[in-house]
Chain A
Amino acid sequence: MSEHIASPKLYIGIFLALMICTAATVWAAYINLGQYNIVIALAIATLKATLVVLFFMHAKYSPGRTQLVIFCAVFWLGIMLALTLSDYTTRHELTQQQAQPAALVARRVAP
């Protein structure tokens, strides 16, 4: 099995990209984007993690089966986040409905 050997130039490039992303995180922290603060921070963090996995952990040059394992793990994380968020993002709609049930209940129990 032949191993892919990446050039030092590539590693330095990725390292610099990670440094720039870190600076961007710090920079973004000083700007108030309201509810998008967390989105920006997570987006930059995800980009950095992707670079590390692809290049430093050699996922880009790994056999298909290894890539499949990584994909499955990320996909499963996606399931966990998406279905958990399905509760958090729609929970307020329930509370809004609960605010007005008096009329509904009155109508239901009326003889």
Chain B
Amino acid sequence: MSTNAQTISPHTMPETDYLNASYGIKSWLLTTDHKRIALLYLFSVTFFFFVGGIFATMIRIHLLTPGGYLVTPETYNKLFTMHGVAMIFFFLIPSIPAVLGNFLIPIMIGAKDLAFPKLNLLSWYIYLIGGGFVLYSFSTGGLDTGWTFYTPLSSVYSNSAVTAAVIGIFINGFSSILTGLNFVVTIHTMRAPGMTWFRLPLFVWSHYATSLIFILGTPVIAITLLLVALERVFHLGFFNPALGGDPILFQHLFWFYSHPAVYIMILPAMGVISEIIPTFARRPIFGYSFIAGSSIAIAVIGFLVWAHHMFLTGESLYAAIAFSLMSYLVAIPSAVKVFNWTSTLYKGSIALDTPMLYAMGFIGLFLIGGLTGLFLACLGLDIHLHDTYFVIAHFHYIMVGGAVMGYLGGLHFWWPKISGRMYPEFLARAAAIILFIGFNLTFFPQFLLGYMGMPRRYHSYPPELQVLNVMSTAGASILALGYLLPIIYLVWSYKYGRVAGPNPWPATGLEWKTQSPPLTENFDVTPVVDWEPYDFEHRPDLALEPGVGGLLPAHGDD
């Protein structure tokens, strides 16, 4: 093959790519191309994001006044439950792995597709079936148990559509397991020549760690929620004391998965940040192996901390002390990442493009979210803060400030690769700043509300807490604008955006060595990797110096 610059011109769209390789609805619904499946996931998770977002909007409008006049208390219970279920199980968990991970992992390691392309498509259909059950539950009586499904409320007393919802989440679990399995096998077996483990992009390392949690944790939540359904429908005694069960056992099993699930949400976002920061600081990442190792450490230690959600359930004091200490341990690999990212910035040539704004936002918000997590891991302090708005603020700083900022940062960073076109930079920067302001205005007052004693999941509150609640609702409306903007300009840019070329930033990864959008097979030839990760110095092909090098496609052995 001739490796010349014309094959991947930066000024014109390629003639053939994965988007126009075939046409028709069937070519999408039966596709086995990981990139097309990623786009199917993109539409699906965006749909659930807006479903969850509508519930969140109603919650915040309801809380504008202390008495809460928008909905009845029963409906309020359903709103926060359905917000949590839609956002956690159907947006946050699949968002980065199933959209960006699916799209990028094969390209980043120089493969043509994932190891099991049909299984990949199957996992999307499973996600849809699970989502269908949950939407059915939402629309036939709703769900009022809290996203945590605590027993015996969920298994005995709730009159809402719990059974359909837990079956939906049970089914959806298989989607996660198959995605995780696919990633692990792909990363083990399909790396291009020269792509050694320590040349893997950190995005891939973080997805490897996430996949381990998918595989080891998801079966537990799936079977636990199935047990809830069995107890509810057939009155088998698993969690109901009247039938010989134990309600605390549910919480142990639930959090065995659901705490690591937080790391399912945040680890891929950390992977995104590890890609963005070296690119826009124009420096190799500081402490590559420590960042890679800390992803695995977070995945492993994350499994040892779950009962810190249960300090006030009457669990053993000795177990609580152990879980508290182990919870503090997670701070170490998390801090390793934050210190390494900031060290990468040191003496860097920093460009504050949109993805970098999101990355900076991520670091700040994750820092606040992480540090307040230490407050909650502290046995004594947790008695005061447990089940208050402090907890709500803490996990939204991690999940929205962390995971969603990472997701949006990644979507902007790789949008030129996904669509072949650039988004409007000014609008995108404005949206990132609006999101950051809106997010802090929404959730920082909630730390104060929680510290002042406002419990979570209550439909009313004392009048003296109104000012902070109004601030929070005002912030939510700014946040909503920040989310709508990217939808509008990304859709616009898909057709009208400036042609991006193969490597508009330029960045060092293998995904930037192929055309944008990529071919269905990703590369013309199997690439050979002969450079170290995030090395800008020895890469004339990145054309960083005027007149030196050019945008060359990946070279291969044929």
Q: Is residue B395 contacting chain A, with contact meaning CB distance below 8 A?
A: no
Instruction: Let me know if B304 and A90 touch, CB within 8 A.
Output: no
Q: Is residue B252 contacting chain A, with contact meaning CB distance below 8 A?
A: yes
In the complex with contacts A86-B318, A93-B318, A94-B317, A76-B216 CB distance below 8 A: yes
A86 to B310, CA, bound (A): 13
A80 to B322, CA, bound (A): 14
Contact with B along A28-59 (1 / 0, CB 8 A): 00000000000000000000000000000000
Taking CB atoms, residues of chain B closer than 8 Å to A76 are: 216, 303
Interface residues of B in 252-287 (CB under 8 A from A): 252-253, 256
Range of interface residues on B (Cβ < 8 Å): 10 to 19
Interface residues of B in 230-249 (CB under 8 A from A): 248-249
Q: Is residue A84 contacting chain B, with contact meaning CB distance below 8 A?
A: yes
Taking CB atoms, residues of chain B closer than 8 Å to A89 are: 316
Q: A83-B307, A87-B319 are in contact. List 12 more A-B contacts (CB 8 A).
A: A72-B216, A80-B220, A83-B306, A84-B256, A87-B307, A87-B315, A91-B315, A91-B319, A93-B316, A93-B318, A94-B318, A97-B317
Q: Is residue B314 contacting chain A, with contact meaning CB distance below 8 A?
A: yes
Name A residues whose Cβ lies closer than 8 Å to a Cβ of B: 72-73, 76, 79-80, 83-84, 86-91, 93-94, 97
Instruction: Let me know if B319 and A90 touch, CB within 8 A.
Output: yes
Instruction: Let me know if A73 and B216 touch, CB within 8 A.
Output: yes
Instruction: Let me know if A91 and B316 touch, CB within 8 A.
Output: yes
- Give the interface centre of B307, B315, B319, B322 by most chain A CB atoms within 10 Å: B319
Instruction: Let me know if B316 and A94 touch, CB within 8 A.
Output: yes
Taking CB atoms, residues of chain B closer than 8 Å to A87 are: 248, 252, 307, 315-316, 319
Can you sample 13 A-B contacts with CB below 8 Å? A76-B216, A80-B220, A83-B319, A83-B322, A83-B323, A84-B252, A84-B253, A87-B307, A90-B319, A93-B316, A94-B314, A94-B316, A94-B318
A86 to B323, CA, bound (A): 10
Smallest CB gap from B184: residue in A:
A69
Taking CB atoms, residues of chain B closer than 8 Å to A83 are: 304, 306-307, 319, 322-323
Interface residues of B in 316-352 (CB under 8 A from A): 316-319, 322-323
A90 to B317, CA, bound (A): 8
In the complex with contacts A73-B216, A80-B220, A84-B252, A90-B307 CB distance below 8 A: no
Smallest beta-carbon distance B273→chain A, Å: 28
Smallest beta-carbon distance B83→chain A, Å: 29
Smallest CB gap from B216: residue in A:
A76
In the complex with contacts A79-B304, A91-B314, A86-B216 CB distance below 8 A: no
Which 6 residue pairs are nearest across A and B when measured between Cβ atoms? A87-B319, A91-B316, A90-B316, A90-B318, A86-B319, A84-B252
Smallest beta-carbon distance A92→chain B, Å: 8
Smallest beta-carbon distance B256→chain A, Å: 5
Contact with A along B291-321 (1 / 0, CB 8 A): 0000000000001101100000011111100
Interface of A is mostly: helix
Taking CB atoms, residues of chain B closer than 8 Å to A80 are: 220, 253, 256
Instruction: Let me know if B304 and A86 touch, CB within 8 A.
Output: no
A62 to B156, CA, bound (A): 45
In the complex with contacts A91-B316, A94-B317, A86-B322 CB distance below 8 A: yes
A36 to B317, CA, bound (A): 26
Smallest CB gap from A91: residue in B:
B316
Taking CB atoms, residues of chain B closer than 8 Å to A73 are: 216
Taking CB atoms, residues of chain A closer than 8 Å to B220 are: 80
Taking CB atoms, residues of chain B closer than 8 Å to A90 are: 316-319
A76 to B317, CA, bound (A): 23
A73 to B220, CA, bound (A): 12
Smallest beta-carbon distance B341→chain A, Å: 30
A83 to B306, CA, bound (A): 9
Taking CB atoms, residues of chain A closer than 8 Å to B314 are: 91, 94
A84 to B315, CA, bound (A): 10
Smallest beta-carbon distance A77→chain B, Å: 9
Smallest beta-carbon distance B312→chain A, Å: 13
Smallest beta-carbon distance A61→chain B, Å: 21
A97 to B256, CA, bound (A): 28
Smallest CB gap from B313: residue in A:
A87
A94 to B304, CA, bound (A): 22
A93 to B319, CA, bound (A): 11
Taking CB atoms, residues of chain A closer than 8 Å to B253 are: 80, 84
Smallest beta-carbon distance A3→chain B, Å: 19
Taking CB atoms, residues of chain A closer than 8 Å to B216 are: 72-73, 76
A76 to B300, CA, bound (A): 10
Smallest CB gap from A87: residue in B:
B319
Smallest CB gap from B248: residue in A:
A87
- Give the interface centre of A72, A73, A86 by most chain B CB atoms within 10 Å: A86
A40 to B314, CA, bound (A): 30
Taking CB atoms, residues of chain B closer than 8 Å to A93 are: 316-318
- Give the interface centre of B306, B315, B316, B322 by most chain A CB atoms within 10 Å: B316
Smallest beta-carbon distance B499→chain A, Å: 44
A91 to B314, CA, bound (A): 8
